[in-house]
Amino acid sequence: MSKALYRKYRSKSLAEIYGQNHVVDVLQGALSQGKIAHAYLLTGPRGVGKTSIARILAHEINGLPYTDNSTHLDIIEIDAASNNGVEDVRDLREKVQIAPVSAKKKVYVIDEVHMLSKAAFNALLKTLEEPPEHVVFILATTDVDKLPATIISRTQRFALHAITPEDAVKHLRHIAEQEKIAIDDEALALVAERGDGSFRDSISLLDQLQGLSDSGETITKKMVEQILGLAPSEEVEKLLDAYERKDLETIVKLLSESETNGTQTTMLVAQMVRYIRAHLVEKPALLPLLDTLLEVPKSSSPSVKLLTVLAANAVPKPKTAALSAPAPVISASVDELKKRKPKTISQPKPATEVEAAEPKPEPEAKTTPKIVGELDWPALINYTKEHFVAIYSVLSKCSYVLDGATLTIYTGNAFYKKKLDDSRYRASLAQSLLETGAGELLLETIPTPPPPKDSLAASVAAIMGGGEEVSVGEEATSTT
């Protein structure tokens, strides 16, 4: 049975430790001067060399050679995850009193020390503070925050760093050359990236991929993406670009393709988060998305959650060409209007038209429309109901006045006015007016109910600061 690469290439001396020079230099200097502490604490993320350094240090303290299969009666390794009870520590306290069999020091390496129970820590505390002269403790943990301050203060602490991508690629290239694994630089960089600062994880990925080069074919970035179930990096960029452009159609298409290709949503989200972090300076607009994406893996349906997150601000493409119009002017294509044979402007029926009781203030200068058709308000409402529900939900509650080429819409409140003034809806509203034969119109929105048609009522409304005309049946005015 072949040996795993991460075990085969595990460092055998402090000089072989990659990427932790700040720790190695201090330890080598202390060892050369014969300064041995009674307790060391190695902290840092997984796969960065904590256990390797602990084992090497235990051997070098005693002047013993170290190999992956080295065993010695005076070097005792304890896994705190499975020996975390107070009785285990009490047993250890009794054994530390026994002198070394043949080495200078009896060294206890306690891995994942944060897994000890509170009672076990309390039992270890006194021994750790004042151990026998022949005993050295080397503690290692990935979660230093769970250690009591009383334990940390009694050790020499060394914080190991996550491996930089450059160091990871350099080490992976060395292993690939030794193992005759044909792999290009882009693929190696991706392997290092997926290792997430862990040598062990990166080397394990390389071990998984080495079978691809047995046929003599060079391992490429695309092959690595396929094996690891990643979305192609260019697809991740396209997806985020579609989010920035609020392109709903492209977002839906790319997510569907990703699901068809077997990419897990959580994996895709991780790739997106990594991309945003790497390009945040040049794309600061993606920062709010970064925070929202972190919620996706927690959802009971991550794929649906991701769709709603990316499509939250997106808008569907209209069935005809999008029409742009600077607020508050709505403009339409002259060629499109000519096809519809513009009609003479006619006033709408009195039942649907609200006449202004007071002269409106002079509107700001606007571009004069070129072609005007006939406004059919019910047809406009029905068209938006079928094609633009968001506009329909507002427009159906509004009233209007058509004065020549100016359409004034009374929204009744500021919220509806803000909706209709939003540039995202202006093009759709322009299209709706075009499709129902209204042509080019100048648009004004007023955040109040329409003024009363009756002059006396209008005067009263003006005195009272505004109001809305309401029809009252004859029975309401009769007396008994």
Q: State residue 316's pLDDT score.
A: 67
Distance of CA 387 to the CA centre of its chain: 32
Domain boundaries, the chain: 5-159, 165-228, 233-311, 329-446
Query: What average pLDDT does range 388-396 have in this prediction?
Result: 84
Q: What DSSP assignment string belongs to 400-426?
A: EEEETTEEEEE-SSHHHHHHHHSHHHH
* DSSP at 470: -
Q: Following CA atoms 437, 442, 445, 449 in sequence, which dihedral angle do they give, to the nearest 10 degrees?
A: -60
With pLDDT > 90 as the criterion, what percentage of the chain qualifies? 22
- List C-alpha distances in Å: 163 to 17, 189, 193, 235, 274: 11, 13, 10, 27, 16
- How many Å apart are CA 170 and CA 189, to the nearest integer? 10
Q: State residue 372's pLDDT score.
A: 61
pLDDT tens digit sequence for 271-319: 999 999 888 888 888 888 888 898 898 888 888 999 988 988 776 665 5
* Class of domain 5-159 (CATH, top level): alpha beta
pLDDT tens digit sequence for 194-243: 888 888 889 999 988 887 776 678 888 888 888 888 888 899 999 999 99
Residue 5 confidence (pLDDT) above 60: yes
Q: State residue 319's pLDDT score.
A: 53
Tell me how long the chain is. Answer: 480
Beta bridge partners of 247: 315
Q: State residue 228's pLDDT score.
A: 84
Per-residue confidence band for 429, with pLDDT thresholds at 50, 70 and 90:
confident
More confident residue, 372 or 467: 372
Phi-psi region of 166 (alpha: psi -120 to 50; beta: other; left: phi over 0): alpha
Beta bridge partners of 141: 43
Out of 109-113, 352-356, 382-386, least confident range: 352-356
Q: State residue 158's pLDDT score.
A: 95
Give the fold, CATH level 3, of 165-228: Helicase, Ruva Protein; domain 3 (1.10.8)
Q: State residue 1's pLDDT score.
A: 55
Q: State residue 369's pLDDT score.
A: 43
Closest alpha carbon to 18 in 166, 138, 139: 166
- How many Å apart are CA 15 and CA 24, to the nearest integer? 7
Q: State residue 169's pLDDT score.
A: 92
Query: What average pLDDT does range 45-51 have in this prediction?
Result: 89
Closest alpha carbon to 172 in 18, 25, 52: 18
Q: State residue 210's pLDDT score.
A: 83
256 is written with which tokens?
Answer: 């569907």
Q: What DSSP assignment string belongs to 340-397?
A: T-PPPP-PPPTTT----SSPPPPPPP-PPPS-B----HHHHHHHHHHH-HHHHHHHTT
- List C-alpha distances in Å: 29 to 17, 20, 63, 137: 15, 14, 15, 19
Work out whether the CA dihedral 50, 52, 57, 62 comes out positive or negative.
positive
* DSSP at 285: G
Give the SS3 label for residue 186.
Answer: helix
Residue 28 confidence (pLDDT) above 80: yes
Per-residue confidence band for 343, with pLDDT thresholds at 50, 70 and 90:
very low
pLDDT tens digit sequence for 139-182: 999 999 999 998 899 999 999 998 888 888 999 999 999 988 89
- How many Å apart are CA 168 and CA 232, to the nearest integer? 22
Give the SS3 label for residue 479.
Answer: coil
At 243, which helix (H) or strand (E)? helix 233-245
Q: State residue 479's pLDDT score.
A: 38
Closest alpha carbon to 244 in 285, 198, 195: 285
Per-residue confidence band for 476, with pLDDT thresholds at 50, 70 and 90:
very low
Cβ atoms of residues 292 and 229 within 8 Å: no
Q: State residue 454's pLDDT score.
A: 55
Per-residue confidence band for 349, with pLDDT thresholds at 50, 70 and 90:
very low
More confident residue, 338 or 252: 252
Which letter, b or e, does each residue of 108-136 get, where b requires 16 or more Cβ atoms within 10 Å of its Cβ? bbbbbbbbbeeebbebbeebbeebeebbb
Cβ atoms of residues 338 and 449 within 8 Å: no
- How many Å apart are CA 118 and CA 129, to the nearest integer? 17
Q: State residue 42's pLDDT score.
A: 95
Cβ atoms of residues 277 and 290 within 8 Å: yes
* Average pLDDT over the chain, rounded to an integer: 80
Query: What average pLDDT does range 235-257 have in this prediction?
Result: 91
Q: How many CB atoms lie within 10 A of CB 367?
A: 11
Beta bridge partners of 439: 372
More confident residue, 378 or 333: 378
Residue 478 confidence (pLDDT) above 50: no
Q: State residue 468's pLDDT score.
A: 53
With pLDDT > 70 as the criterion, what percentage of the chain qualifies? 80
pLDDT tens digit sequence for 83-113: 777 888 888 888 888 888 888 999 999 998 9
Residue 32 confidence (pLDDT) above 80: yes
Residue 432 confidence (pLDDT) above 70: yes
Query: What average pLDDT does range 109-129 have in this prediction?
Result: 87
Q: In whole angstroms, how large is the CA radius of gyration of the chain?
A: 37
- How many Å apart are CA 453 and CA 460, to the nearest integer? 12
- How many Å apart are CA 338 and CA 7, to the nearest integer? 77
